[in-house]
Amino acid sequence: MLTKFLIPLLLIQLVSSSKNDFIFKGFNATNLSLNGVAEITSDGLVQLTNNTANAVGRAFYPFLLPFKNSKAKSASFSTTFVFAIVPQYKDISGHGMVFAISPTKQPLGSASGPFFGLFNDSNSGKETNHIVAIEFDTSRAVGLGDIDANHVGIDINGVRSLNASSVAYFDKENKPKRLNLISGNPMQVWVDYGAKDMKLDVRITPIGLSKPKIPLVSSKVDLSSIYLDDMYAGFSASTGDGTAFHYVLGWSFSLDGNAQDLDISKLPSVPRQDTTQKGPNILTVVLPLVAVILLLVTIAVSIVIVRRRKKFAELLEDWELEYGPHRFTYKDLFKATKGFKEEHLLGVGGFGRVYKGILPSSKLEIAVKKISHESQQGMKEFVAEIVSMGRLRHRNLVQLLGYCRRKGELLLVYEFMPNGSLDKFLFGGKKKMLGWSQRFQIIKGVASGLLYLHEGWEQVVIHRDIKAANVLLDHDLNGKLGDFGLAKLYDHGSNPQTTHIVGTLGYLAPELSKTGKATIKTDAFAYGAFLLEVACGRRPMVMRGTMPNLVDWVLELWKKGMILEASDPDLESDYVVKEMELVLKLGLFCSHPDPEARPTMRQVMQFLEGDAPLPVMPLDYLAASSSAYDESFDDFIMSYPSISSHTVSGSSSSQVFRQ
C-alpha cells in the first residue's frame, strides 16, 4: 500500500535555479495554490476540473513573480507545459482552459463557461484587470468573436482574443497539421515573450515532438502597460456542462531566460474516461427527449404562424392590384410604428389616430393615419381617389404616399413632418417660437398649395378641411397643407356632385347649408378663416361664453378703424403693418357669405405677393358676413348627428367629421 503512494511522489520533482525559474515534472499539494474544484491527483497531475457542472478550477504558482524590473520595464518570460483535455463523452466538450498571468490567484469573476473562471460578463475587457492569458478554447461563443470550437487565442484583459488560430502545429517541413484539443491526448505548449521586440508567440504540438520553428499564434503587444510590478502565473478552466476533465502534467517557467525542457518520460500519465458504456445510455434518454422537443417546437411554430397570419391579415381585392406601388403591407406599417404603440401616437382627430413610424426597408419616416371604414360602399372609388392624390407633387403639400386596408380599418400613409401641426404653435406652448415673418411665409405657402390643387393639377382637388390643425411644419417651419382624408377631386370644367357635408365648424361656408356641395369657393372661405386664425392667434369659433365669432370680431374692429387691434397679442406688435392689414382684410374678403364675391386662390396669391392691390371693399359689403352662422345654419348642422361642434376655448384639438 505504501508503494502505491510513494511511486507517484518520486516522479514529482521541482528544480529551481532561482525564485523566478522553476520546473514541475508532476505535482504535489505544496507546489501550487489551488482554487475552486482544482485538486492534485494521487498520480501527480493537476486536475483543474471534474464532472461538476458549471464549476471553476484554478492552480497558480504560489509566489509572486517580478514581471517588471527596477526601471518599470516589462520582463521577458518563457514557459512550456503539457496539458490534456479528456472529454467525459467522446467528441462532446465543455469549455477549454487558459494559461494566465494575473495580479491575483483568486478569480476576478466566478463565471464559468466561455469566461474560463477568469472573468465574468460585466468585467471582461476592462483595462483594470491586468491579465494576460493564452486560451485553449473547445467551444465557440459567437458573441465573443470565437473563430471556431477548437482554437488557441491570445487574450488581454478579457476573453475576446487579440489574435487566434485554429489548433495546429508545423512539422519539420513547416506544413500545418491539425490538432483536436478534446482528443484526450497530451499536448505540449511553448509560450515566449520578448520584452525588447514586444512579441508574444504560442506554439503547440502533440507530446514528444520538438518545439516548432513557426508559432501558431503571434502578436506584437506591449505588456508593460498590462503587467503590475509583481504577478502570479498559473492555469484556470471551467466545465460549462461538465463534460470534460482538464489536466496539467508538467510545467517549466523562466523570467528573462529560456524555460528548461520537460522530460516527457518522467511525467505522469493521463487517466482515460470510459465512454463506451455511457454513450448508449445517453442516446436512449436523449433521442426520445429530442423527439418530444421537436414535436412541441413544431406545434408552437405552427401556432405562431397562424396567429401571425391572422394578426397581419389584410383586405386585398382584385381591383386593387393595379394600385400595387401605392399599397403598403400591414406588416410593414405594424413594424414601422412598433405595433402602433401609444408612445408613437402623434395625435387624435375625428377621423382617427395618427402614428409616427419608420419603414423597416427604406428607413423613411412616415405618419400613419388609421381610419375606420366598416362600410364597403364606395370603397373602390375612395381608394382610387387616394391613389390619384398620391400623385400630387407640390412643396406646400404633405405627400400622401399610399394606403393599406385591413379588417375595419383604412390606413393612410403620409410623409412625416417633424414639427407637427401649426395649431400647436398658435394655441400651444410653442406659440412664441413662431414670429410674424414665419407666419406670413406659411400663409403664402398654404395659398400656393391650394392654387396647385384648384388649378395646377390634371384634376380639380377640393380639400374641404383647411385649418391650422391640418397645416404641418417641416424641419425649417415651412407650412404644408396635409390631411387629404376629406378631399374630393373632379375634372376641370365639371360640377362637383358630392353632397356630403364635411369639415370643421368655423371653417364651413354658409352656402353648404343649401347646396351641400364643396367647391373651390368653400375652400376659399375656409382659407379666409385660416388667415384670421394665424393673424389673430384665435380660433374661428368659441362655443361657450359671449365672445363673437372671429369674422364678426375682426369686422367690428375694422369698422372702428382699429383692425390692427385684432393681431395676436403674443406678437407684441412685432410685425409688418402692411402685411398684417393685408392678411386681416383678405381673411374677411375670403370669408364673404356670397361665394361669388370671394377671390380665387390665384387672386389670393397675387394679393399676397403684392402683384395686385386688394380691392376696396365697403364695410357694408362685408357686413352680411356676420350672419355666416345664423340660426338656420345651426339647425341644418344639428340635423347631422355625426357633426360635432368646434372645440371650446382653450382646447387644442378640433372636431373633424365625415358622412
In this structure, the number of other CB atoms found within 10 A of the CB of residue 210 comes to 9
For residues 145 and 655, what is the distance between their CA atoms, to the nearest angstrom?
57
Q: What is the dihedral of CA 298, 299, 305, 310, to 10 degrees?
A: 170
| Residues linked to residue 480 through DSSP beta bridges, in sequence order | 472
Q: What are phi and psi of 251, to 5 degrees?
A: -155, 135
Q: List the grid coordinates of 525.
A: 372661405
Listed as own residue / partner, the contacts of 559-564 with beta carbons closer than 8 Å and 24 or more positions apart are 559/619
| Residues linked to residue 100 through DSSP beta bridges, in sequence order | 133, 234
List, in order, residues 6 or more apart from 109 with CB less than 8 Å away: 115, 117, 118, 119, 120, 121, 122, 123, 124
Question: At which residue does the C-alpha cell 388649378 appear?
Answer: 455
For residues 658 and 563, what is the distance between their CA atoms, to the nearest angstrom?
35
Contact call for residues 277 and 131 (beta carbons, < 8 A): no
Distance, C-alpha 7 to centroid of its chain: 65
Contact call for residues 346 and 355 (beta carbons, < 8 A): yes
Helices in 237-378 by DSSP H: which ranges? 278-311, 330-336
List the catalytic residues.
465
Is residue 521 helix, strand or coil?
helix
For residues 139 and 387, what is the distance between their CA atoms, to the nearest angstrom?
56
